């Protein structure tokens, strides 16, 4: 059973809980020598060779269901229509979704079935379609969103990403993405290398965030519905890691330099040590302390973030991880070996 984080929002000056659009496309040829993530591993995914992300060119999805535990502008009370993709270009030692991100759990589906999932989530009352870690399947995602929209899907598209994206993928996805829900994990290349095997993460995330901000501005800037749901915008997430608040402070400073109050910032204290981290011991074997978390929130206040989401109380819990059991993935018209269109 999922437990809801107690989200609050800090508003500037109030100490209460609120804390160039161009045409781009990606063809399925991108899977022949993959460069869809900053690792640019060159894997022949179309020929069945997995990339660093762990995936071939066969689209895999682990879950498609209403999700209630994102930030309030994303989940509201009705829930976000979250579709969790298998695989991930990062290799974070503390990953909570390791079953799908590194273990590869999921079912193979075609673009048609992915589009149908979006329509089914819309029928269930989802506030948006929340694509979780979709970048390494960007050609499929583009094709599926277009198909779903042709068939009447009218919800905002949320790209829920680690922030480790290439400029090409961000530009291409900008055609269909309305809300960027992006991580900014590290400011230090050394820390990014040690914990995610990606010392280039800070540079890649910075470039990606700048492009995300530009894509939203080109469409008219941040927009909310009357019910408070985000219709267009950027939310930058940062998970505070135990023992690494110096880096967290630098992350917020970098986000401020790139986006200022053009974005919402979400500072999370829900870090939960997985079995690997508990076994290894050290700082990552424990949760974040109150003082560590407050130091990062105070930095956000000092910088001047007007929309800063934060989590109240102790939120360390493995219950944040949804059940990856193929809920909502397979249906009567699903084609496990479905062939994608030639062009996205």
Cβ pair 242, 283 in contact under 8 A: yes
| SS3 assignment for the chain | CCCCCEEEEEECCECCCECCCCCCCCCHHHHCCCCCCCCCCCCCHHHCCCCCCCCCCCCEEEEEEEECCCCHHHHCCCCEEEEEECCCCCCCCCCCCHHHHCCCCCEECCHHHHHHHHHHHHHCCCCCEEEECCHHHHHHHHHHHHHHHHCCCCCCEEEEECCCCCHHHHHHHCCCCCEEEEECCCCCHHHHHHHHCCCCHHHHHHHHHHHHHHHHHHCCCCEECCCCCEEEEEEEEEECCCCCHHHHHHHHHHHHHHHHHHCEEEEECCCCCCHHHHHHCCHHHCCCCHHHHHHHHHHHHHHCCCEEEEEECCCCCHHHCCCCCCCCCCCCCCCCCCCCCCCC
Mean pLDDT of 195-216: 98
**Residue 13 reports pLDDT greater than 80:** no
* CA 212/CA 225 separation, integer angstroms: 20
* CA 247/CA 36 separation, integer angstroms: 27
* CA 98/CA 78 separation, integer angstroms: 27
Query: What integer pLDDT is reported at residue 323 of this predicted model?
Result: 78
Higher pLDDT: 1 or 150? It is 150
Mean pLDDT of 35-42: 98
Buried b (16+ CB within 10 A) or exposed e, 85-96: bbbbbbbbebbb
* CA 221/CA 262 separation, integer angstroms: 8
* Complete domains list, the chain, with CATH: 45-316 (3.20.20.70)
* CA 342/CA 334 separation, integer angstroms: 19
Reading the block at residue 223, the tokens are 């927009």
* CA 240/CA 300 separation, integer angstroms: 13
**Residue 294 reports pLDDT greater than 50:** yes
Q: pLDDT band for position 322 (50/70/90)? A: confident
In the chain, what percentage of residues exceed pLDDT 70?
87
Query: What integer pLDDT is reported at residue 97 of this predicted model?
Result: 86
Alpha-carbon distances, residue 93 vs 62, 163, 195, 243 (angstroms)? 20, 17, 6, 15
* CA 120/CA 139 separation, integer angstroms: 21
Reading the block at residue 260, the tokens are 């200022």
- What pTM, to 2 d.p., does this model score? 0.89
Cα 208 → chain centroid: 13
Mean pLDDT of 260-268: 98
Reading the block at residue 28, the tokens are 């399925």
At 206-243, the pLDDT tens digits run 999 999 999 999 999 999 999 999 999 999 999 999 99
At 97-152, the pLDDT tens digits run 888 999 889 999 999 999 999 999 999 999 999 999 999 999 999 999 999 999 99
Reading the block at residue 40, the tokens are 């640019």
Residues 6+ apart with CB under 8 A from 275: none
């Amino acid at each position: 059973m999922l437990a809801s984080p107690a989200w609050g929002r800090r508003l500037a000056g109030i100490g209460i809980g609120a804390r160039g659009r161009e045409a781009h496309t990606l063809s399925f040829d991108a899977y022949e020598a993959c460069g869809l993530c900053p690792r640019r591993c060159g894997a022949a995914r179309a020929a069945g060779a997995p990339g660093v992300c762990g995936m071939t060119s066969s689209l895999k999805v682990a879950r498609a269901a209403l999700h209630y535990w994102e930030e309030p502008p994303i989940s509201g009370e009705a829930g976000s229509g979250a579709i969790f993709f298998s695989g991930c270009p990062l290799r974070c030692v503390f990953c909570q979704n390791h079953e799908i991100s590194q273990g590869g759990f999921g079912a193979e589906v075609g673009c048609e079935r992915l589009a149908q999932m979006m329509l089914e989530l819309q029928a269930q009352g989802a506030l948006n379609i929340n694509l979780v870690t979709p970048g390494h399947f960007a050609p499929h995602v583009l094709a599926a969103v277009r198909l779903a929209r042709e068939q009447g899907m009218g919800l905002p598209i949320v790209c829920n990403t680690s922030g480790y994206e290439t400029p090409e993928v961000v530009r291409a996805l900008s055609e269909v993405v309305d809300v960027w829900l992006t991580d900014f994990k590290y400011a230090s290349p050394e820390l990014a290398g040690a914990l995610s095997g990606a010392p280039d993460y800070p540079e890649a995330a910075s470039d990606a965030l700048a492009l995300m901000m530009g894509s939203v501005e080109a469409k008219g800037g941040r927009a909310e519905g009357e019910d408070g749901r985000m219709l267009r915008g950027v939310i930058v997430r940062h998970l505070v890691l135990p023992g690494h608040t110096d880096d967290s402070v630098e992350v917020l400073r970098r986000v401020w330099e790139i986006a200022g109050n053009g974005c919402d910032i979400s500072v999370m204290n829900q870090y939960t040590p997985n079995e690997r981290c508990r076994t290894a011991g050290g700082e990552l074997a424990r949760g974040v302390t109150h003082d560590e978390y407050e130091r990062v929130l105070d930095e956000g206040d000092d910088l001047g973030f007007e929309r800063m989401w934060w989590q109240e109380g102790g939120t360390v819990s493995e219950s944040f991880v949804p059940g990856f059991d193929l809920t909502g993935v397979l249906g009567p018209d699903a084609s496990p070996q479905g062939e994608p269109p030639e062009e996205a």
